[in-house]
Amino acid sequence: MQEEIITSVLNGRDTVALLPTGGGKSVCFQIPALAQNGICIVVSPLVALMTDQVNTLKKKGIKALSIPGGISYSNLNILLENAIYGNYKFLYLSPERLSQELVQNSIRQMSVNLFAIDEAHCISQWGNDFRPAYKNCKLLRRLHPLVPIIALTATATSEVITDTISQLDLESPAVLKSSFVRKNLSYQVQYEDDKLYRIEQLLKKNNETATIYVRSRKIAYETSTQLNSLGISSNFYHGGITSEEKNSRLEEWLQGKTKVMVATNAFGMGIDNPNVRYVFHIQLPESLESYFQEAGRAGRDGNYASAIILYNDYDKVLVKKQFIDSRPNVQQLKLLYRKLNNYFQISYGEGEFTNHSFNFIEFCKNYKLNTLITYNGLTALDRLGIIQLSKQFGRKSVLKFIISSDKLIAYFSQNPSISLIGKTILRLYGGIFESPTAVKIDLISSKTGQSINNIISVLEKMQKEGVLELKLYHTDASITFIVPREDDKTINMVSKSLLDLNRKKENEVKSVLTYIKNKKTCRTVQLVSYFGETEAENCGICSVCASQDTSPSKKELALISGKILQLLEESEKTSRELSEKLTFTEAKILVVLRLLQDLEKIKINTKNQYYLL
């Protein structure tokens, strides 16, 4: 669909482009921008993605720049002036930047030929990765009413597309959608109690690049450690590790030095490795949108790849508990909102646009609130425009001991005042020598009887003396109240939206559970029909198709025979050895082996091993 999308944009028409992961979305706005005078402004949610695309354009001799976070006002002004007067073709920025008056005024002065909104589903509150800051994109239409907008995404239901068009003020847009079918990708769902054993069987016999998705930082670390102990080269990736560690681990994985990356959904948009042969999910995803996007990172080079969900009965209970049972109802949200206003002593009718430092754990402890429901309630209030949470919300202080355990014990013996706090941290947090670990200062305080200020000063002293690395958050976050306090009346105005959000999340989880239970409909057909594609044919290579028919399709014949011949080039192998190295059913492999014998491409020796002729 790239040609149709590019033509639509060149004709000056607002355009919505839906292409699967790896479908070449960036070309769809880069080519029309290069073909016309002026600059293209690209709104993107990820710094890493912006940096990567800017570097790629620069290597091609194309002038591009991005606005990073944390820069001074004067440096920001310099970058914007470069974009206005420096004959640049692309300016990449985050949606948060659009709220700055300096940025808005500068864009107004630019000769803009196109606005590109990447990961556009983030603007819709029904989108899986909703980000309130994306609402700022609506300003672009006001700044340059006649400039076309292209909205790009890889995962969006019809409901999300409709909402995205409305939120961006697109005028009679062309909605151009490529098929979401990935012919080389085998979607598999397997009930498995010993998930690690199944992964070990596949990865040890096929030394291929893989990603394993999990739902928590702790499980990411533990799974990676277990794989390394089994001799499988692995590392882990989550939001708690430093930017330097993220970059170095990603680079080692991209270069093949690390074969397996165990990751949370922080390992997401912008991660582009064409050689991934396996994407595993060892915990159930929260929605088919997130699963489809993560699974789509396998086989981007066009070669055969597998996306495998491994689940058991407990996973089905856990996904409901995490994403349905923990969501607040209207009464719980009203209670939370009242407690929040009381906590900051905000009077009725006041509080609008006031900002407050906020300690989440202290707040929950003070009012004896369930932490998970409260966390989801605060994010719902943020999503519904009642409050605005800072980016730090939910972050914990992160530390890692950087000296050996023997040296650390010796250090404690020489510093008795530090020993109690240090040894308490060791008891509470395993793996703190191996990787940066999120810690709760208030929990350490309650266990030791020491004040939070004293613990912070001790940690800072240990950092200064080279005992540990530390990223310290003195408070969990800050909260800005967007509307004046009106208690129940405030929540009543958004209660329907809250119920809709809860219903949406419930339906998303139900869709995941329906997907794993349905063993009659082709996995590819199930997934693409969820996104409104109704005419897809059975793929022939998913776990459903493979179980229904022992005679391989033409597509499977080509895939299986190619893999068998490739493996036999290495050495003679028995049918069992071949089955262990391939992801197809044993019955289909045996059919292909007989066919290859009939075609006199292979023979079998006295040890029951197949070899090439």
534-557, pLDDT tens digit by residue? 888 999 889 998 877 667 778 888
| pLDDT at residue 586, as a whole number | 73
Dist CA 227 CA 140 (whole Å): 48
CATH number of 322-394+477-506: 1.10.10.10
Secondary structure letter of residue 370 according to DSSP: -
Stretch 196-200: mean pLDDT, rounded? Answer: 92
Dist CA 526 CA 514 (whole Å): 10
The H or E element that residue 72 is part of is none
Stretch 208-225: mean pLDDT, rounded? Answer: 93
Token reading at 39 = 């600059």
| CB-CB neighbours of 395 under 10 Å | 17
Percent of the residues in the chain that have a pLDDT greater than 70, as a whole number? 96
| pLDDT at residue 535, as a whole number | 85
Dist CA 248 CA 16 (whole Å): 35
Q: What are phi and psi of 539, to 5 degrees?
A: -75, -30
- pLDDT bucket at 420, cuts 50 / 70 / 90: very high
Spell out a b/e string for 186-214, using b for 16 or more CB atoms within 10 Å of the CB, else e: bbbbeebeebbebbbebbeebebbbbbbb
- pLDDT bucket at 432, cuts 50 / 70 / 90: confident
Among 278-287, 393-402, 574-583, the range of highest mean pLDDT: 278-287
Q: For residues 265 and 106, which has the higher predicted lDDT (pLDDT)?
A: 106
Bridge partner list, 399: 437, 470
Secondary structure letter of residue 209 according to DSSP: E
- 3-class DSSP string for 165-180: HHHCCCCCCEEEECCC
DSSP 278-340: EEEESS--S-HHHHHHHHTTS-TTSS-EEEEEEE-HHHHHHHHIIIIITS--HHHHHHHHHHH
| pLDDT at residue 17, as a whole number | 95
- pLDDT bucket at 172, cuts 50 / 70 / 90: very high
| pLDDT surpassing 90 at residue 439 | no
Residue 92's nearest CA partner among 127, 57, 124 is: 57
CB–CB of 110/84 below 8 Å?
yes
Stretch 305-331: mean pLDDT, rounded? Answer: 94
Hey, what CATH topology would domain 2-177 get?
A: Rossmann fold (3.40.50)
Stretch 549-570: mean pLDDT, rounded? Answer: 85
Dist CA 369 CA 336 (whole Å): 9
Dist CA 149 CA 151 (whole Å): 6
Range from 31-45, 212-226, 467-481 carrying the lowest mean pLDDT: 467-481
| pLDDT surpassing 60 at residue 475 | no
Segments in 349-415 forming alpha helices (H): 360-367, 371-383, 405-414
CB–CB of 93/43 below 8 Å?
yes
CB–CB of 178/297 below 8 Å?
no
Mean pLDDT of the chain: 89
CB–CB of 311/191 below 8 Å?
yes
Range from 300-314, 521-535, 598-612 carrying the lowest mean pLDDT: 598-612
| pLDDT surpassing 80 at residue 215 | yes
Q: For residues 94 and 552, which has the higher predicted lDDT (pLDDT)?
A: 94
Range from 144-158, 224-238, 414-428, 472-486 carrying the lowest mean pLDDT: 472-486
Dist CA 186 CA 588 (whole Å): 15
Dist CA 54 CA 63 (whole Å): 8
| pLDDT, tens digit (0-9, with 9 covering 90-100), for 452-462 | 788 888 999 99
Bridge partner list, 176: 17
| pLDDT at residue 302, as a whole number | 84
| pLDDT at residue 132, as a whole number | 77
Residue 433's nearest CA partner among 399, 401, 462, 466 is: 401
| pLDDT at residue 393, as a whole number | 63
Token reading at 297 = 């990172």
| pLDDT surpassing 60 at residue 32 | yes
- pLDDT bucket at 482, cuts 50 / 70 / 90: confident
Residue 498's nearest CA partner among 414, 338, 376 is: 376
| pLDDT surpassing 80 at residue 228 | yes
Q: For residues 204 and 91, which has the higher predicted lDDT (pLDDT)?
A: 91
Dist CA 251 CA 261 (whole Å): 11
> Is the four-CA dihedral 96, 101, 104, 109 of positive or negative sign?
negative
Stretch 340-364: mean pLDDT, rounded? Answer: 90
Dist CA 380 CA 501 (whole Å): 9
| pLDDT surpassing 80 at residue 408 | yes
| pLDDT at residue 51, as a whole number | 79
Range from 88-102, 334-348, 387-401, 419-433 carrying the lowest mean pLDDT: 387-401
> What CATH number does domain 185-311+518-539 carry, 3.40.50.360, 3.10.580.10, 3.30.300.30, 3.40.50.300?
3.40.50.300
Spell out a b/e string for 17-35, using b for 16 or more CB atoms within 10 Å of the CB, else e: bbbbbbbebbebbbbbbee
* Architecture label for domain 549-612: Orthogonal Bundle (1.10)
| pLDDT at residue 117, as a whole number | 95
| pLDDT, tens digit (0-9, with 9 covering 90-100), for 488-501 | 999 999 999 899 88
Secondary structure letter of residue 573 according to DSSP: B
The one-letter code for the residue type at 495 is S
| pLDDT at residue 81, as a whole number | 95
| pLDDT at residue 438, as a whole number | 80
Query: Residue 605: exposed, middle, or buried by beta-carbon count in 10 A (0-12, 13-18, 19+)?
Result: exposed
| pLDDT at residue 391, as a whole number | 62
> Is the four-CA dihedral 537, 541, 547, 552 of positive or negative sign?
positive
The H or E element that residue 389 is part of is strand 387-389
| pLDDT surpassing 90 at residue 317 | yes
Secondary structure letter of residue 96 according to DSSP: G
